[in-house]
């Protein structure tokens, strides 16, 4: 990408899009286009096509999506499948119609089969059944990946897809009912310290293993891929190492300074037992993450502490 190329970041107010915006600006890209949901509803085909017709972006990072944790996915499956299918369909098709030079579509490692061999290689997608707790989201995201691949195959467009592992970092969603594991745990421990609680309750057994990538590292990887990767296969983006949830909990306990008891609520679901990506394809291209899990957790916890009052106020509105 030329530094003055017209780049559209779809979903710039989300965790991924916000980090992408920061990284692009830091790397000297000067012609970045964004639209809020109020300005452009990506689930509306007519709005999306009008936007591409008028703006004609050269590069597109498709990071817009409806996302959430186990509870949100289980509660709103129709919303997850409809909104994510619509976003993928509308943006990918409009990018083809209006001559976008390159598009990068974002998948997610949670759309791999539930019981994948570990570590997960790119070719394991669609080889067995999905995790039931996020099936609707997964089906929509898989459709987006395949759509990018088929448009590449039929029309010769340079559309690629990346499959990030579990993400976290400043700007994450810290809502206890709708967030992922790291922001939920960070908030629980912060509130326990703040309110001098005797215990913190953690969902599940604590035995599943997860891989976590700091959000600014993902943004760096996506810009790297836009500049250096062109293939019909999606490509995994992660750190290549995982951690048991109990280890994660202890790390967050230490960072927060919580001295009370941790209780595991085993009536709650664990989700997939293990989810570790094989990132050898990405590392062979010359990219590696810069941020350790401990460092990333400390930065994210500090961000939560600084913005906690604003987060609570927003939820109460």
Beta strands in the chain (DSSP E): 7-10, 32-33, 59-62, 102-106, 158-164, 166-168, 199-203, 209-210, 212-214, 235-237, 243-244, 261-265, 274-275
Between residues 178 and 212, which one has the greater pLDDT? 212
Average pLDDT, the chain: 95
- 115: DSSP letter: T
203 annotated as a binding-site residue:
yes
User: Cα(14)–Cα(254) distance, rounded to whole angstroms?
Assistant: 28
* Stretch 230-234: mean pLDDT: 97
Between residues 70 and 193, which one has the greater pLDDT? 193
Residue-level pLDDT at 220: 98
**Taking 80 as the threshold, does the pLDDT of residue 178 lie above it?**
no
Residue 191's pLDDT band (cuts 50, 70, 90): very high
259 annotated as a binding-site residue:
no
Q: What is the pTM of this model?
A: 0.94
Cα distances from 73 to residues 44, 87, 117, in angstroms, run 22, 17, 24
Residue 316's pLDDT band (cuts 50, 70, 90): confident
106 annotated as a binding-site residue:
yes
User: Cα(127)–Cα(31) distance, rounded to whole angstroms?
Assistant: 41
109 annotated as a binding-site residue:
yes
Helix (H, G, I), strand (E, B) or coil at 86: helix
Residue-level pLDDT at 151: 98
User: Cα(213)–Cα(35) distance, rounded to whole angstroms?
Assistant: 26
Residue 269's pLDDT band (cuts 50, 70, 90): confident
User: Cα(130)–Cα(16) distance, rounded to whole angstroms?
Assistant: 24
Residue-level pLDDT at 175: 87
Residue 76 designated active-site: no
Residue-wise pLDDT for 61-92, tens only, equals 999 998 877 777 888 999 999 999 999 999 99
User: Cα(238)–Cα(150) distance, rounded to whole angstroms?
Assistant: 25
For residue 265, what are the β-bridge partners?
203
All structural domains of the chain with their residue ranges = 7-316
257 annotated as a binding-site residue:
no
CATH topology of domain 7-316: Rossmann fold (3.40.50)
Q: Which of 137, 151, 214, 301 is catalytic?
A: 137
């Amino acid at each position: 990408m030329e530094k003055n190329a017209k780049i559209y970041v779809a979903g710039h107010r989300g965790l991924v899009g916000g980090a992408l915006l920061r990284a692009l600006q830091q790397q000297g890209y000067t012609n970045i286009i964004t639209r809020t949901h109020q300005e452009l509803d990506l689930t509306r085909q007519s709005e999306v096509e009008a936007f591409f017709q008028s703006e004609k972006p050269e590069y597109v990072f498709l990071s817009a999506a409806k996302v959430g944790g186990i509870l949100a996915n289980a509660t709103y499956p129709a919303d997850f499948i409809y909104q994510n299918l619509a976003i993928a369909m509308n943006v990918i098709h409009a990018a083809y119609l209006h001559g976008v030079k390159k598009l990068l579509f974002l998948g997610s490692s949670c759309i791999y089969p539930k019981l994948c061999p570990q570590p997960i290689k790119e070719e394991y997608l669609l080889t067995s059944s999905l995790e039931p707790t996020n099936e609707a989201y997964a089906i929509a995201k898989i459709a987006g990946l395949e759509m990018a691949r088929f448009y590449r195959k039929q029309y010769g467009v340079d559309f690629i897809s990346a499959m990030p592992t579990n993400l976290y970092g400043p700007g994450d969603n810290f809502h206890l009912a709708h967030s992922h594991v790291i922001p939920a745990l960070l908030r629980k421990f912060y509130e326990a310290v703040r309110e001098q609680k005797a215990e913190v309750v953690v969902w599940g057994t604590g035995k599943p293993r997860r891989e976590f990538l700091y959000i600014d590292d993902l943004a760096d990887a996506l810009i790297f891929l836009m500049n250096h990767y062109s293939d019909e296969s999606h490509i995994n983006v992660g750190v290549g190492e995982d951690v048991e949830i109990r280890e994660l909990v202890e790390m967050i306990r230490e960072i927060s300074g919580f001295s009370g008891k941790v209780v595991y609520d085993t009536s709650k679901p664990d989700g997939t037992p293990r989810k570790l990506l094989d990132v050898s394809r990405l590392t062979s291209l010359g990219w590696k993450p810069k941020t350790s899990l401990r460092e990333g957790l400390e930065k994210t916890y500090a961000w939560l502490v600084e913005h906690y009052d604003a987060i609570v106020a927003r939820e109460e509105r």
